[in-house]
Structure 1
Amino acid sequence: MPLVFPAPILSTTSSHLLAFFFSFSYVGSLYISKNARLSFSRSPKPSSNGIPREKLANERWRDDPDVIRARLAAVTIASLICCAAVLGVLWHHLGDGQWQNFDTALNATIVRLGLLPDIHPDALYPHLVTPVLFLGPLYAQYLSATLPFQKRWSFMQSFVNKFFTWQGIRNYSWAPLTEEIVFRACVLAVYHLSGASVSRMIFLGPLSFGLAHVHHAWDTFNRYGRTASAAKRAIISSIFQLAYTTLFGFHCSYLFLRTGSIYPAITAHIFCNIMGLPEIAYELRKFPKQKKEIFSAYILGIIGFIYTLPRWTKTPGVLYWDNSKNASY
């Protein structure tokens, strides 16, 4: 049973400040170290045909292995600092941080961050909700014979070379893990401790996650040549990414609050990074004879998602979701 309080222990302002601190710590960590910072030429050649320009020898781009390694180390430290901040809040409210209360605060932090392993009988179901939504794109991959162990799937090219490069480690393991711990578990934990309602946490909490991706605009602006066209592309892509990541944050926040575990949100994040954005227009052009089947798969995926989301994520005794009923914090 997690440690609960009869009344909120944080003010709304304090929770906002802590959420900002978490976001600033995570994104800011990418720029503290010289090895993690990007560098671009001040007068690069503009890009052409809508593709990024060629990288110059003296530049450091976000996909360079040494940059990725430095950034992975930076966000790891930032994530630990954010978790320690949640621990500090709980420890402070257990008697001004006395050492005899440290173990209790540590255990409460682990529970509130959803870090306990999922061992209940239905623990698998929340992890399957997101794949249900992607039934349409999965069917298109089936038609392309690129699903695991199909004709055009290769163990080396489709698995090893994709997931075990530095880019793969960043995109499909470490970034989803650290981002969900910071922007989902830590942010929602402090909002809950301030007495925020479930709906408020679902729809306001992910804003920090969306805003944290805006800094990619600088990368886009430079990779496309620092022109007016590059600036326009950077602004449009940032607005789109802000909208998409915020919507995705709603989904992962729901998973976390509904299950009390961070792991379904992490697997959803990994799965979405692997799948990318649905490309139904491209799929319809590629398989014109299967248009009805593709449309049906997309519709079935949406219906299945709506049906399974509240049912497959229902978890008894979750502190966050029960908050609206028993007013414990």
Structure 2
Amino acid sequence: MYFYQPPIGLGVAHALGVFFAISYVGSLYLSRQARLVFKSSAQRLREGEQRRKQNDERWRDDPDVIRARLVAVGLSTALSCGIVLWLLWNLAQDFTIAFDAASTRLGFSLPLGDVFPVCLVTPILFLGPLYAEYLMGRLPLQRNWSWRRDLLPMITTWQGWRNYLMAPLTEEVVFRACMLAVYHLAGAPIGRMIFMTPLLFGFAHIHHAWDIFNRYGRSVAAAKRAIFATILQLSYTSLFGFHCSYLFLRSGSIIPPLTSHIFCNIMGLPQVSFHLATFRSRRNAIKAAYIIGILGYIYTMNKWTLVEGCLYWRATSKVNGRPIY
């Protein structure tokens, strides 16, 4: 199902995008079980020291908090997908057609084989960190890698389920698939979809500042730490959002941004200075790996990401020479 003219206005897309973001973050605070509780007053702590958790407090890594929040964001994600489906149903007046269209526009229907090269783009960017992990013997099946220490916590703990499955899945579906679907229906330019919608993804992480401020003592130093961490996270998540939006729009599939999100959560931010200081005899090789990774990323982002017939990318989303929405 496609349209030769945008079937909704940009104002509707803006309203829906803001609603998706607010409903996702707001769901974390609707139920008492999902809310964080801090009882401690201001404390003087050593630089970088986190205070002790009190028995009657609820922190974000508590298993019961994580369980409640996973349910909340799961329901919020289902609601956002339901709104996209309802919108298309209202336009098509046929549920079967609308359901197929929603599956396509949300990136659920493309075969994995078509998007496999797209999924390799992010690991190529991380060639430098991966080489450093190799030098440390910490890649899977190397001497310093342990399935008990490195793998089991990812799949058997609530923190692992949140960090490496549910958070990437729900965030990519809401902030990539649902948002980009409605902006595309509104005829938004490609550049705006890539560089504007991820800002909502970045701002959706600002609420973590309250958590940091409380855990580090509610002091001036804690406030500074929370502000700095929030600015850093806002910058990183926005840049990451640009990357994932591009992957989604070029491939038309949720799989590349999802695997990219999981991979980046596992790897964390690249630690160039640490790697160079740790392996002084391999400094040139590490620098070369980082540079090759960046150059490889630039090359593959253009050559490997475009899936033929992708609805979202204007170069391929045309019928009889006319752009479709």
Contact 2:115–2:253 at 8 Å: present in 1 too? no
Deviates more, 1:159-168 or 1:264-273: 159-168
Contact 1:46–1:53 at 8 Å: present in 2 too? no
Residue 111 of structure 2 aligns to which amino acid in structure 1? D
TM-score (norm 1): 0.95
Deviates more, 1:75-84 or 1:161-170: 161-170
Deviations along 1:234-288, whole A, 9 cap, x unmatched? 1111111111100000000000000000010000000000000000101111111
Structure 1 distance, partners of 2:52, 2:248, is 41
Structure 1 distance, partners of 2:226, 2:88, is 41
The match for 2:98 is 105
SS of aligned partner of 2:121: helix
**Is residue 76 from structure 1 mapped to residue 74 from structure 2 by the alignment?**
yes
Deviation of the 1:91 alpha carbon = 1.0
Deviation of the 1:62 alpha carbon = 0.3
User: Which runs of 5 or more residues in structure 2 are unaligned?
Assistant: none
Structure 2 distance, partners of 1:237, 1:123, is 34
The match for 2:202 is 210
Contact 2:42–2:219 at 8 Å: present in 1 too? no
RMSD, aligned α-carbons: 1.2
Deviations along 1:10-55, whole A, 9 cap, x unmatched? 1111100100000011000000010000000141534323121111
The match for 1:272 is 264
Contact 2:5–2:324 at 8 Å: present in 1 too? yes
Identity %: 55
Structure 2 distance, partners of 1:117, 1:157, is 35
Deviation of the 1:322 alpha carbon = 2.6
Q: Where do 1:180-199 residues align within 5 Å? A: 180-199=172-191
Q: Where do 1:162-241 residues align within 5 Å? A: 162-241=154-233
Deviates more, 1:252-261 or 1:317-326: 317-326
Q: 2:53 aligns with which of 55, 60, 76?
A: 55
Q: 2:246 aligns with which of 236, 242, 254?
A: 254
Hey, which bits of structure 1, 4+ residues long, moved more than 6 A? none
The match for 2:86 is 88
The match for 2:143 is 151
SS of aligned partner of 1:220: helix
The match for 1:98 is none
Q: Where do 1:26-65 residues align within 5 Å? A: 26-65=24-63
Structure 2 distance, partners of 1:5, 1:11, is 13
Structure 1 distance, partners of 2:194, 2:84, is 19
TM-score (norm 2): 0.96
Q: 1:22 aligns with which of 20, 23, 33?
A: 20
**Is residue 245 from structure 1 mapped to residue 241 from structure 2 by the alignment?**
no
Deviates more, 1:268-277 or 1:319-328: 319-328
Q: 1:113 to 1:195 in 2, by over 3 A?
A: same
Residue 104 of structure 1 aligns to which amino acid in structure 2? I
Residue 142 of structure 1 aligns to which amino acid in structure 2? Y
Deviates more, 1:110-119 or 1:257-266: 110-119
User: Which runs of 5 or more residues in structure 1 are unaligned?
Assistant: 96-100
The match for 2:107 is 114
